[in-house]
Homo-oligomer: A and B are copies of this chain.
Amino acid sequence: MTGRDGGAPIAPIDPSPIVILVRPQLADNIGSVARAMANGGLFHLRLVAPRDGWPQDRAWRMASGADRILEAATVYDDVPSAIADLHHVMATCPRPRHVVKPVMTARGAAMELREICTRGLKTGILFGPERAGLDNDDMACADALVRYPLNPAFMSLNLSQAVMVMAYEWWMAIDGSPPRELMTNETHVATKGELENFLTHLIAELDSCGFLRNLPKRPGMVRNIRHLFQRGEVTEQELRTLHGVVAELAHGRRQNGRIET
């Protein structure tokens, strides 16, 4: 076995749903699944009848450090024994037929799993084998089905990609990141006063060099320049750079004597 030390910590957020791979075929995929689980904060893995047995070196090679998830994985003979201690089970399946069951999106399922886990109940998500997916008996063990809204013209979803989407939605169900923010690091967004200082500086130099000499057009040109700089949430640091740019351009011009001031 390779690289079995270290790796992502188990279960920083608990309780979290148990990922249950039903009859997985490729050890590579099991490793990629562990990596995707760690990305999204899922840490408990169960394997039902893995085709090539368990453990498998190749899984560790694909896990990119999510070793502890693989080390803690447990193996079961069938779905009923893998879910016997769970209170709520969801089953992922692309195209269920002749089934009477609640069907959820990945997003809806993640939010519902958060709620159920918060009540202290143990939950699990079933993922079927690479080619066939879950069979009808597997689905009959689940409280609800999860069907991803994805391109119906191309339904071939890799097993670890399926787990990635679910793990991502699990994380997103509590994430509070704003959809858009301006990252400014050491500096800050300029105040209108700081921006006005720069615009005053710029316009004075543009008057000085003659760029604004057409007096009837001058108000409109000044306004266009103002619009441009108002649009971009300029930072204080960028304004200092722009002050320098204008000063140096004007200084070079004066030095070269191309325009009298």
Contacts and interface: CB of A to CB of B under 8 A. Distances in A.
A101 B164 contact: no
A175 interface: yes
Given A161-B36, A161-B164, A187 B150 contact: no
Interface string A11-45: 01000000000000000000010011011110000
Given A40-B151, A102-B181, 5 more contacts: A8-B153, A149-B172, A149-B175, A151-B171, A164-B165
Given A36-B161, A165-B165, A96 B183 contact: yes
Interface stretch (A50-58, A105-113, A219-227): A105-113
A65 B154 contact: yes
Interface string A79-102: 000000000000000001111111
A175 B168 CA distance: 17
A145 B102 contact: no
A118 interface: no
A90 to B, nearest CB: 11
A154 B186 CA distance: 26
A261 interface: no
Contacts of A172: 107, 149
A237 interface: yes
A9 B99 contact: no
Interface of A: 8-9, 12, 32, 35-36, 38-41, 64-66, 96-105, 107-108, 111-112, 144-145, 147-151, 153-158, 160-161, 164-165, 168, 171-172, 175, 177-187, 233, 235, 237-238
B150 A168 contact: yes
A155 to B, nearest CB: 8
30 contacts: A9-B153, A12-B151, A35-B158, A36-B161, A39-B156, A39-B161, A64-B158, A65-B156, A96-B183, A99-B185, A100-B183, A100-B235, A100-B237, A101-B182, A101-B183, A102-B181, A102-B182, A102-B233, A103-B181, A103-B182, A105-B175, A108-B178, A111-B179, A145-B183, A147-B177, A149-B171, A150-B171, A151-B171, A160-B161, A168-B168
